[in-house]
Structures are given as structure tokens and as C-alpha cells.
Structure 1
Amino acid sequence: MILRTRGLGFIMAALVVLALLVGACRWIDLDVSSPIDNLINIGAAPVASIPFCGNVTSPRRLTCPGTPTAPPPSQTTPPPTSGPAPPCPDYFRYIHDDLRPWRGAGITRASVERARRHANFRLVVVGGRAYVEKYRRAHQTRDVFTQWGIPAAAPPLPRPRSRPGHHVRLRRPPRVHAADFPAPAEAPPVFLYCNDAGWPEKNIRPWSQMLEEMRRESERVQWPERQPYAYWKGKLHVYRIRHELRRCNVSNDQEWNARLFTQDWKHAIRNGFKGSSIPKQCLYRYKIYIEGNAWSVSEKYILACDSPVLFVVTPFKDNLSRGLVAVDWGNKHPVQAQLIDYMLHLLTEYAKLLRYKPTVPKKVVEICSESIVCPTRGLHRECMMDSMESHFTGFSPRTLPPPFTKEEPKEIADREAEVLRNIENIERLAS
């Protein structure tokens, strides 16, 4: 279900519909947390033994080897395949759509340089080697784990001439607005951060592990046995729309059949993350997704619970929301449905649009698996190693589907508009 964002009324009306569906329900205690200023050091655990790190225990950055080191062998590594590669899911077509502003004039050096003020770091890939120039600090370790995804998860780009050079922003919301640029190609291309290696500061393990834990929890408690409420837990901070949603919580005066909890991460860290288990949140029949400062990284965990999700409509798009149909496909094809394909095709198509030859800037540092993982300790290192991709030996990317036709975007927009109209009709009937 999709909820409009025109204020509290629509949110409450949609929850009334849910109340009619689930009926009268019993009271449960709300989560109470207190601010704690002292945080524990999650990096103090002993260093795990990594074959290619040797005896390195100091935080210094290593020199990358002449030939990139392959990940440790895995028993799950699939055998090499023959014949044409299977096609990617249909939502990969949005790669063409996202790069459309630069399709005609291409991406110039000047437009890339204009992206500097919006970015946390710059990534350049030349000759199959990756280099990073850091501009400003990132929140926690977003920069480290975003960079980790390049050498650890991605094999060399399929075309030797592909030499992408781009900027990465590690904060939300996006800062590049199309309306500020009369010519679309003048807009600076900026990538937002993305990783599936987990979030050590929040005790969130790599995505593959979390998905398996959530699958087991969903199977343990079948949908009819789950709590008959719409559930949301997250950080309120200064996000107005989340504060409005919070007013829909159960109280002595109202029952909207919503169970909304505030997540205090300082308290969770101090308390050893008790009560903050993401798989344990799969115990409710319905989940709520609502943006924070922009799109929220909680989306994929909410979707993975195998419960109907109430979406508060947002202008932000990402490959998860675009590929909701592909989630079922990914569950049926766990080895093939990999983020690596999306990254490879996006970077390859981006590189095709470059109208200049990227060179290695003066203030860069070369990054590789060794230089990133070996200086780390504790949970940071565990998350990196657990997320290391080991399937790309003899494994070719799948085929990127063609762009949308001129008619297809309008058809998609019309279908979405029809869904929203139906939801608004339900809201009016329930109010």
C-alpha cells in the first residue's frame, strides 16, 4: 500500500483502513529509551586472521600489489558458464534512464569537476586500478565501506577502455537539482553511497547474512501468527514527516492499529543492541516505510520481512523501489541476483559517456582489498570479509536490457497514478 505525504490526515486514514482489516487488538508496551552519551568502541576486538594481510595489525594503509588479489576461494563459487549470459532484471533499464541527461552531449571534465563541492570523495579507475581523493569527512565509516565495494566486490570492468572517474556523496538528501541547469548535460554527475557490507556502528551484518536471518525468522513465525499491527521503528531526529507519523501511535485515547517505536542508537549501543535486532522486527503483519532526510537505508530490511509494506510516497527513487517486482526474482535466484551486476553496468554505461580520458590526480590514494581491510579491526573487519564477493571467477555479467521506449515511461507513470488514486479513494471512504 502507498500513503500520500500531504500531512497527518492521510496517514491516519490509511491506518484506519488497516484497523478495519485487523480488528480490535490488545495493548502492547511502547519502547522507552534514554539518551546515553558514552559509546562503546566496537573496533577493540582482536584482529581476525586474513590470509593476504600477513601480520599487519597497525592502522597504516598498505601499498596495493601489482596484480589485484583475488578473494579467498569459496566452496560456493559457481563453475564457469558457457553460452550467452542471461538478461538482467527489467529494472536494470533504469540505468539508461538515470544517465539520460548526459546521453547527448556526454560527460565532460568540466561537469565532473563541478561535482567536487557536492561530494565526499572522488573515485577514479584507470588501467583496472582504483584511486580515491578524499574531500571531506563522512558520517562514521560510510566512506570506507563504500570504497570497499569497489575492489572487494567488483572484478575488472568488462571493457579495458572503460575508465570511469566520478564523485560520490555520502550524505542525504541529494544536492544536485535539475532545475538549476538549463542544459541537462551541465549537471554534475554525483553518485550516492551504496554498500551491502553492513553497518558495523549499528551492529548490522552484511546483507547476505541479514537476509538469511530474516528469512529464518519469517519462516519461524508465519504471517497469521504475527502481531496484527503496522510496525515502524526508527530515528525521529528532525524529520517532520516521521514526527507526524508518530502521532498515529496507540494511546489511551486512540487506536490506529499502528505500533511505532523510537530508535535511540546511543542507548542501543550502550545496551549491547538488545531490543534492536532487525530480524526480530519481522513479527508484525504489516510494516511501514517512511523517508527520513531523504530515502532511508531501512527500506531493504523492511521489504525482506515478507509482510505487506505501507509506503509513504516519496519523490526519491532507488534501485530497490524500482525493482520491487525483482525482489521475488532475487529470492528465487540468490546467486545470480547480485548487486555486482548493477554496479558493473552502471559504471560501464557511465564510462561510455565520458568525453575525456580520466587520468590519475595528484592527491589520490590507490585503494585495493588489502589497503582497506588489513588496517581494520573487530566488527569492521568481520563485515568486510563476510561481504567479500567470491563468485566472479569465470562468472560473466548478465546482459543489460535495452532502454525504455518513448511510450513506456508514461505507461509506468500512469499505472502509479492509478494506484495513488485508488488509495486516495480508500482513504476518503475511511475518513
Structure 2
Amino acid sequence: MAKKQAWVHSSHPRWPSYLFFLIVALSVFSLVAILIYKVDNFASQTKTIVGHNLEPTPWHLFEPKNFTDESRHIRAYKIIQCSYLTCPYAAADGGAQPSELEKRRGLVSSRTPPKCPTFFKFIYRDLEPWFNTRISMDQITQAKEHAAFRIVIVEGKLFVDLYYACVQSRMMFTLWGILQLLKKYPGMVPDVDIMFDCMDKPSIERNRFGNGSLPVPLFRYCTTEAHLDIPFPDWSFWGWSEVNIKPWDEQFKEIKQGSRTQTWAKKIKRAYWKGNPDVQSPIRTELMRCNDSSLWGTEIIRQNWTEEAKAGYERSKLSNQCKHRYKIYAEGYAWSVSLKYILSCGSLPLIISPQYEDFFSRALIPKLNYWPVSSIDVCRSIKFAVDWGNSNPYQAQAIGKRAQQLMQSMSMDQVYHYMFHLISEYAKLQDFKPVPPPSAQQVCEESMLCFADEKQKELLKKSAVTSVSTTPPCTLTRSPNPNFFTAWAEKTQKIIDEVKDMENRTNAAIT
């Protein structure tokens, strides 16, 4: 019997114990490998606010974003962490309780708000195409053809559906600004559904919509008389990391301080422009031909951002560019963020026949806070402005001062007031209840900071709203008579024509 048992044991030898652990290890390794593959695959399909897995906008191509500075696995982890895991925990840890929101709401509504500036009335003109028809979900869907991303606000939370990448960090800083609005006025910003294009040129043409055809609503940074795009404060109000521009309140303070380093009498009696002419801008191309201080009274400088970056932007500080009596504004590929910095200098702004409007440029009045320069024979028109200013120094100085005062009044509080009223009036026109689409992601401060690089983080934190507003937004007056906008445009054009007539008579006398 013992022999038989021994034979049985010998015919079925025991496996070495290490084989069991090897199989377990291989199984775990396989599961981990499958998990990593699945995570990588999921991450490779996730679109992000910084441009992962997003193509440039087809209507304004630019160099695709490169994310090769980190390993594939680290990038995948970051995408998953920032896109899906950050906001739920942030909301759970830091969300305000309903009772607290009610207290804040009561605090805000208990204060008497100031009256909004007159140019806020242009909100009604921008939204006028939808006053009678209202805005349907079908129109929102049609606007997707022109949009880089979609913003949906529901119960104070921000959701974003991503379609195309935006150049540089425009999307990040635009969304950050909206988050700050929600933080500043908790419980007050209505639910809303917005299609947004982050590139330069307007795209919704007025003449395309007629004979019963309904326009599609699209938000962007600028518009023109010939377009229906709805202008919204641009990203640079919260900072511009690529060219080292600080958040607006801080940047304006520095520019104003720089403008005081010289009295008007000691400022250089020439017109100054520094920028990038290589942006498909006919006006800037023409302006480069005016760089002759003795002939045209100008100083035109080509900006090389690559060299400026290498030099730490020391030669491009905006606060150091207020030494001239006259500052030229020339539109770029479309409108340019440089307008607000030029107006801030206290120099006499020379604005060359602008085609585009951003939200605050409607406050500009020729001969009151800027001097109009003709796009026809630009050099001669600039020379006339310089000669006029040097012959009328007190008037020129007063115009420059009023331009600076305009921009001082354009504080970040005022920017948030405009955002609040534009979104609120727009939301009133929507005939549906906004709901985030299934592909949308929630965005919060923590997820933005999670994606941001060190420079971006610095600017985002500097521009963050630190407390809930104790006063409500300014009071928006009721919609004005349509004749208001016609009269405004006619008054502006009349002054421009008067200046042009002065210029023509002077030139005729010289010749």
C-alpha cells in the first residue's frame, strides 16, 4: 500500500511554488498593461482646454500645439486627473451651501448699484437680431459650424464642449474669466448656452440672413457693422502668458505709472507704434512705410516676439512705451488687444480707421478721447495729427488724458458688469432650458490650474476674484430707441468728416 501511494505521488509531481507566484505576477502585469492601455486610449480621445486632441480651427489655421515635453503616460494621467477627477472633489470640498448662497444673494441685493456706462446699451444692438424670433436650440446647433467651443452654465457650474483648439492660451483665460464671474456673483448668473469662437475675424455676416432666414448666435472678441457676432471681453483682461502681459488692473496701473515719468512738455513730439506687421494687415503694411521721423513725424518699430522672449520681455514692457505724445493704433489680422494699452498711456491716441469693434471701443468718441486717422494716405494723415497736436498741445494733452481716464474707469469690476449683463440679456432670449451635452466636461478653478503651466498659474491666481461682490452689477438701462444707435454713428462720422476736412484744407494750402 505504501509503495502504491508512493507511486501515485511520483506520477503527479508537485509544481515548484515559484510558478504560482510567476503566474500571479504575469496576471497582475497583464491587467496593469491592459489598464494602462485603456487609460492611454481614453486619454488619447479626451479633448482638453489646453488643446490636447484638438485640431486648429479650419477658418483660421495656426501651428498645431505640441505636447511632447512630457511622456505619454504622464500626459495621459494629467488629462484624466485634470479633466475628470478634479472638479467633483473640488465641488465636494469647497462648494457653498444653499443657505450661504442665499445670505450672499441677500447681501448683494441690499446695495444700490451704480448706473452702467452708456456704451453698455450696445448689448441691445448686438442681441437685436433675436429680439423677435428668440433663440432656439436649433440655432445653437447651427452655430457650432463657426464655434471653437460651447459654454453651458447650469446652476452656477460651468461646462465646456470642445470642438477646436484656440491659438495660444485664449480658451483657458476666457473660461477662467467666466469662472471668476460666477464666483463674484454666486447664484445670480442665469443658466445659459453659448457657442464661442476664439479666433480673430468675425464670421456671421448680416447679408446672409434675410427673407425669413434666422441668424445663428456666436460669441467672440470683436464684431463689425457688417457682422452679427456678439463681442465679449477678450482673454487678455486676465493675462496673456505668451507675451508676458499681466492681468488688466495690474497692467493698467503700471502703464499709468509709466506715463507719469515724463511731463507732456518733455514727451517726444512724434507718433509711436511698435508691433508685428506680419499678420496679413494692409494697414500695418502701409504703416511700415511711414517710418520717417523728419518726413512724417513718426517712430515705427517692428516687434520681434521671438527676440523679445529671449530678452525676457524687458524691451517690450508696456509701461515703458508712453514716452511719446502720440500713440498709433493699427488693427492687425482683425481687431487688436493693443487698443486698451495704447489708450492707457495718456498720450494722444491716433486710431487708423478701425473696421472692428470690441465691447468697450463703443465708448470712443473722436476728438474727445482719440484722434481719427484716415486709412487713405496714412502717413500724411498721421503727420497732420502730429502737427495739429504740436500746435495745440493743451488740447492734445486733454484728449490723451480723457482716453486714459476712460481706461481707468474700465476696471475689472466694469468688465464683470458687462459680462454679467450680456450673458443675462442673452439668456432671456433662449427659448429652451440649457443642459450640458453628454460630451461636455465640467470646468472649475482647480481643473484650470491643474492644466496650467507655471506662468499661466501665476497669472490665473493674480486675476482670481478673492471675494463675493458686496454690491450688485451696475444697473443696465432699458433698451434704447433704435434711433439711438443711428444718431450715435452719425455723430461719430460727422466729427471724423470734420477732421478729414481740416486735413484736406491744410494739405491743399501746403501744395
Identify the residue that residue 417 of structure 1 maps to in structure 2. 493
Within 5 A, what are the aligned runs for 1:204-219?
204-219=245-260
Contact conserved, 1:157 with 1:348, CA < 8 A, in 2?
no
Which residue, out of 392, 414, 431, partners 1:338? Answer: 414
Contact conserved, 1:106 with 1:185, CA < 8 A, in 2?
no
Identify the residue that residue 202 of structure 2 maps to in structure 1. 174
Please tell me the residue identity of whatever aligns with 2:91. Answer: G
Identify the residue that residue 436 of structure 2 maps to in structure 1. 360
Identify the residue that residue 392 of structure 1 maps to in structure 2. 468
Please tell me the residue identity of whatever aligns with 1:66. Answer: A
CA distance in 1, matches of 2:407, 2:488: 24
CA distance in 2, matches of 1:302, 1:390: 28
Instruction: Please report the TM-score for the alignment, with normalisation by the length of structure 1.
Output: 0.79
Q: CA deviation at 1:321?
A: 1.2
Identify the residue that residue 243 of structure 1 maps to in structure 2. 285
Pair 1:323-2:363 in alignment:
yes
Change (3 A) 1:241 1:362: same
Identify the residue that residue 458 of structure 2 maps to in structure 1. 382
Q: CA deviation at 1:332?
A: 6.6
Higher normalized contact order (CA 8 Å, seq sep 6+, divided by chain length) = 1
Identify the residue that residue 8 of structure 1 maps to in structure 2. none
CA distance in 2, matches of 1:328, 1:204: 18
Change (3 A) 1:314 1:334: closer
* Unmatched runs of 5 consecutive residues or more in structure 2: 1-66, 71-76, 97-106, 222-233, 370-401
Instruction: Please report the TM-score for the alignment, with normalisation by the length of structure 2.
Output: 0.67
Identify the residue that residue 154 of structure 2 maps to in structure 1. 126
SS of equivalent to 2:291: coil
Change (3 A) 1:336 1:264: closer
Within 5 A, what are the aligned runs for 1:170-319?
170-182=198-210, 186-193=214-221, 194-195=234-235, 196-237=237-278, 238-250=280-292, 255-319=295-359
CA distance in 2, matches of 1:385, 1:222: 35
CA distance in 2, matches of 1:412, 1:271: 45
Please tell me the residue identity of whatever aligns with 1:413. Answer: A
CA distance in 2, matches of 1:263, 1:108: 45
CA distance in 2, matches of 1:369, 1:161: 17
Contact conserved, 1:223 with 1:285, CA < 8 A, in 2?
yes
Contact conserved, 2:344 with 2:407, CA < 8 A, in 1?
no
Change (3 A) 1:104 1:424: same
Contact conserved, 2:249 with 2:411, CA < 8 A, in 1?
no
CA distance in 1, matches of 2:409, 2:282: 39
Change (3 A) 1:113 1:420: same
Identify the residue that residue 47 of structure 2 maps to in structure 1. none
CA distance in 2, matches of 1:110, 1:86: 37
Identify the residue that residue 151 of structure 1 maps to in structure 2. 179
Please tell me the residue identity of whatever aligns with 2:444. Answer: C
Please tell me the residue identity of whatever aligns with 1:269. Answer: A
CA distance in 2, matches of 1:91, 1:69: 37
* Unmatched runs of 5 consecutive residues or more in structure 1: 1-40, 45-56, 72-78
Contact conserved, 2:345 with 2:404, CA < 8 A, in 1?
no
CA distance in 2, matches of 1:291, 1:342: 23
After superposing the two structures, state which structure 1 stretch, 144-153 or 319-328, moved more.
Answer: 319-328
Q: CA deviation at 1:287?
A: 0.6
* CA RMSD across the alignment: 2.8
Q: CA deviation at 1:429?
A: 2.1
CA distance in 1, matches of 2:301, 2:244: 18
Please tell me the residue identity of whatever aligns with 2:257. Answer: R
Q: Deviations over 1:269-294 (max 9, x none)?
A: 12222311111111110011111111
Identify the residue that residue 20 of structure 1 maps to in structure 2. none
Change (3 A) 1:184 1:176: farther
After superposing the two structures, state which structure 1 stretch, 400-409 or 80-89, moved more.
Answer: 80-89
Contact conserved, 1:302 with 1:309, CA < 8 A, in 2?
yes
CA distance in 1, matches of 2:244, 2:124: 35
Contact conserved, 2:154 with 2:434, CA < 8 A, in 1?
yes
CA distance in 2, matches of 1:355, 1:156: 27
Contact conserved, 1:112 with 1:166, CA < 8 A, in 2?
yes
Q: CA deviation at 1:185?
A: 7.2
Pair 1:63-2:87 in alignment:
yes
Change (3 A) 1:340 1:327: farther
Change (3 A) 1:188 1:81: closer
Identify the residue that residue 27 of structure 1 maps to in structure 2. none
Contact conserved, 1:154 with 1:340, CA < 8 A, in 2?
no
Change (3 A) 1:168 1:139: same
Contact conserved, 1:102 with 1:185, CA < 8 A, in 2?
no
Q: Deviations over 1:20-72 (max 9, x none)?
A: xxxxxxxxxxxxxxxxxxxxx9x99xxxxxxxxxxxx956412243369589x
Please tell me the residue identity of whatever aligns with 1:115. Answer: A
Pair 1:407-2:407 in alignment:
no
SS of equivalent to 2:316: coil
CA distance in 2, matches of 1:338, 1:318: 15
CA distance in 2, matches of 1:203, 1:234: 15
More helix by share: 2
SS of equivalent to 1:186: coil
Q: CA deviation at 1:333?
A: 5.7
Q: For this pair of structures, how many residues does the alignment match?
A: 369
Q: CA deviation at 1:427?
A: 2.2
Contact conserved, 1:124 with 1:163, CA < 8 A, in 2?
yes
Q: Deviations over 1:330-376 (max 9, x none)?
A: 66767784211100110000000001112110111101111112332
Change (3 A) 1:246 1:232: same
Please tell me the residue identity of whatever aligns with 1:120. Answer: A
Contact conserved, 1:235 with 1:263, CA < 8 A, in 2?
yes
Which residue, out of 447, 451, 465, partners 1:371? Answer: 447
Please tell me the residue identity of whatever aligns with 1:386. Answer: K
Please tell me the residue identity of whatever aligns with 1:178. Answer: R
CA distance in 2, matches of 1:423, 1:408: 23
CA distance in 2, matches of 1:233, 1:99: 35
Identify the residue that residue 31 of structure 1 maps to in structure 2. none
Q: CA deviation at 1:117?
A: 1.6
CA distance in 1, matches of 2:138, 2:163: 18
Contact conserved, 2:271 with 2:328, CA < 8 A, in 1?
yes
Contact conserved, 1:101 with 1:185, CA < 8 A, in 2?
no
Bigger Rg, which one: 2
